[in-house]
Structure 1
């Protein structure tokens, strides 16, 4: 008889969700974690980054208070206090992800590294554990590029950035994706010089260019310098001199230009944590993007094994590095692994993503370019500027745009939003896309006034305006006006 019904490798967001559900169903569960409970999200990702951004936004609000008639002195950044806020945020959330909490659920938590020794067994802390089912949720880590000179200079990733005891004098960020942009704005607003180097033609390459322009402009106002379409040829050590008290790093671009800074942050992407798992011994197929699974998240080569979270590479969909994906994966896994429901398939059609800048950039479903590339015909592109929203006007935040991509018969295919707290609107769009609700459901939604969400409703209303104000409708109203 196997030692455990379910063995979960990785105690990040996905692994914790699976372990909790498994234990709640009365199964014998082992949860193995070689690092910190809570994984990347709690300790190095979502929680500390959003806590740092909150401090940065507070500093920006103090600087901008004059536009409301409030006169404040320039904010003084207490880096130790900022760090205390970041670490305090982690500490307040940590009990929810703690080993003690999961042991209280009946889960055996083993804080050590694990690797497969057979298709139905792992070795951990000198023990061999057999299982009926295993779930690999080992997550992902920052990619360290093969860059000449990198081995001779100090560099940071999201796992070490929040350990800095002093603020960077000039932070050079390689990569203009969500992590790079969020940390660029956070550090710029906290008084650091920041340069973002993006090898591709533009930052936020996956997002709608029309919305990205507004985000770029906001970061430039905060002092962030961008070098787009710029490839780094090598990096060099910068020694301290009379002008620079700190040692640092120089990024030498392919065009020969040199950018000197005190710190270098690598934010060029993420890769699955496959090393050390010995997947070959487990008979588990994997590639550079992660563990290959079917749409039910089950391994294509070992029917006892499932993969969830960043490390999963579902055929036809590919991996996605989002914490909120953990809950969706857990739901798919429960139906697939425990209840053996047929036709259990993963879909990313309504998966939201957000770059948590100020303003935020949120996207659900297809962008305009993706919809056209997919061959959707009869597209309608609806826009409503945030400047036309009364709440935005009262708060002095008129920048931004809601952009809806609508297919035939008024079906919402995608929505992009650039606005303060845009991520808060994403759920409504996701629900509409997932449940295939007509756009009329949004256009007719009664929302409290004044709220930013009204911009979405106004954009949806524009879809029906031509019909409402058509010559036929006007003739009909003209006839009906004579009725008593």
Structure 2
């Protein structure tokens, strides 16, 4: 008899969810983690980044309080206090992900590296463990690009930047995606010089161009320097006799421009943690993007193995490096691996993603460009600017937009939001897309007044306005008005 019904490799968001469910259903469950419980999200990603952003947003609010008639002095940044807040957030949440809590659930937590020794066996902490089912939830790591000179200069990733004891004098960020932009705005608002270098033609390249332009304007207003559509030729260590004595690295662009900074942050993507798993011994196929699985997250080569979270590469769908995908994968796994329900598969049609800058940029479903690329014809694009939203006007924050991508028949294909706390509005659009609700459900929704969410309702109402104001409807009203 196998030692465990389910062995889970990795105690990040995905692995923790799976282990809790399996143990709760009475299965003998092992959870193997070589690093810190909670994984990247708790220790190096979602939690510390949002805590740092909260401090940065507070500083920005103090600076712009004058728009409301409140005069405040320039905020004093206590870096040690900011660090304490960030660490305090991690510490407060950590017990929820702790080994002690999971052992209390009946999970056997093995705090060691794990790897395959056979298709049905793992080695962890000097022990050989046999299993009925194995779930790989080892996550991903920051990509370290092959850049000439990188090995001769100090650099940071999201795993190390939160440990800085002093604020960067000039932070150079390679990469204009969500991590790079969030860290750029956070550090700029906390008093650091920041330069973002993005090789693509624009920052937030995956996002709707119209919304990304609004985010770009916000970052520039915060003092972030953006170098878009430029490639990095090499990195150099700053010579001691330079005029910028504090700088430690020089980024040399292909056009010859030299940018000196004190710190370098690599934010150019993430790669699955595959190297230490000995997948060949486990008969587990992988691609450069992760563990190759079917749409139900089961390995294409070893029927005993499933993969969840960042490391999963479902056929025809691809990986998604979001913490909330980990929860979605856990639900798929329960139906697929435990209840053996046929037809179970991952579906990202209603998947939200958010860049947690200020304003936040949220996208649910397809962008306009993605919808056109997928062959959707006769699209209807409906917008409502926050400049015409009463709550935004009352708070002096009229910058932003809600943009709906709608089929000709009134089906919501995607929604983009650029607004303060846009992520808090994403759920309604995800529900509509996921449940295939008609746009009329949003247009007729009764919302409290005044709220930013009304912008989406007004955008949806625009879809029906031509029909309500058509000559036929007007003739009908003219007849009905004669009735007693």
Provide TM-score, normalisation by structure 1. 0.99
In the other structure, the counterpart of 1:125 is: 125
1:241 is displaced (CA, Å) by 4.0
Q: Does the 8 Å contact 2:170/2:247 carry over to 1?
A: no
In the other structure, the counterpart of 2:89 is: 89
Deviations for 1:203-261, whole angstroms, at most 9, x for unmatched residues?
Answer: 11110000000000000000000000110010000134474342410000111111110
1:380 is displaced (CA, Å) by 0.4
Task: Give unmatched runs, 5+ long, in structure 1.
Answer: none
C-alpha spacing 1:349/1:216, structure 2 compared with 1 (3 Å): same
Q: Does the 8 Å contact 1:138/1:273 carry over to 2?
A: yes
In the other structure, the counterpart of 2:362 is: 362
Whole-Å separation in 1 of the counterparts to 2:365 and 2:66: 39
Q: Does the 8 Å contact 1:240/1:246 carry over to 2?
A: no
Whole-Å separation in 1 of the counterparts to 2:128 and 2:359: 50
1:169 is displaced (CA, Å) by 0.3
Task: Give unmatched runs, 5+ long, in structure 2.
Answer: none
In the other structure, the counterpart of 1:373 is: 373
Correspondence 1:249-264 to 2 at 5 A: 249-264=249-264
In the other structure, the counterpart of 2:294 is: 294
Q: Does the 8 Å contact 1:103/1:109 carry over to 2?
A: yes
Whole-Å separation in 2 of the counterparts to 1:67 and 1:344: 52
1:401 is displaced (CA, Å) by 0.6
C-alpha spacing 1:134/1:443, structure 2 compared with 1 (3 Å): same
SS of 1:409's equivalent in the other structure is: coil
In the other structure, the counterpart of 2:156 is: 156
In the other structure, the counterpart of 2:174 is: 174
Q: Does the 8 Å contact 2:247/2:260 carry over to 1?
A: no
Correspondence 1:221-236 to 2 at 5 A: 221-236=221-236
Correspondence 1:59-458 to 2 at 5 A: 59-241=59-241, 243-458=243-458
Segments of 4+ moved more than 2 angstroms: 239-247
Whole-Å separation in 1 of the counterparts to 2:434 and 2:69: 45
1:119 is displaced (CA, Å) by 0.2
1:409 is displaced (CA, Å) by 1.4
Provide TM-score, normalisation by structure 2. 0.99
1:377 is displaced (CA, Å) by 1.5
SS of 2:318's equivalent in the other structure is: coil
1:66 is displaced (CA, Å) by 1.3
In the other structure, the counterpart of 1:37 is: 37
Superposition RMSD in Å:
0.7
Q: Does the 8 Å contact 1:115/1:123 carry over to 2?
A: yes
Deviations for 1:444-475, whole angstroms, at most 9, x for unmatched residues?
Answer: 00000011000000000000000000100111
Whole-Å separation in 2 of the counterparts to 1:241 and 1:73: 37
Figure out how many residues of one structure are paired with residues of the other and give that number.
484
Whole-Å separation in 2 of the counterparts to 1:245 and 1:126: 49
Deviations for 1:379-427, whole angstroms, at most 9, x for unmatched residues?
Answer: 1000000111100011100000100000131000000010111111110
Whole-Å separation in 2 of the counterparts to 1:105 and 1:308: 21
SS of 2:265's equivalent in the other structure is: strand
Whole-Å separation in 2 of the counterparts to 1:244 and 1:229: 26
Deviations for 1:250-286, whole angstroms, at most 9, x for unmatched residues?
Answer: 0001111111100000000000000110000000000
1:323 is displaced (CA, Å) by 0.3
Whole-Å separation in 2 of the counterparts to 1:261 and 1:302: 48
Deviations for 1:318-353, whole angstroms, at most 9, x for unmatched residues?
Answer: 000000001100000000000100000111000000
Indicate the larger mover: 329-338 or 245-254: 245-254
Indicate the larger mover: 237-246 or 113-122: 237-246
Deviations for 1:340-374, whole angstroms, at most 9, x for unmatched residues?
Answer: 00000111000000000100000000110111111
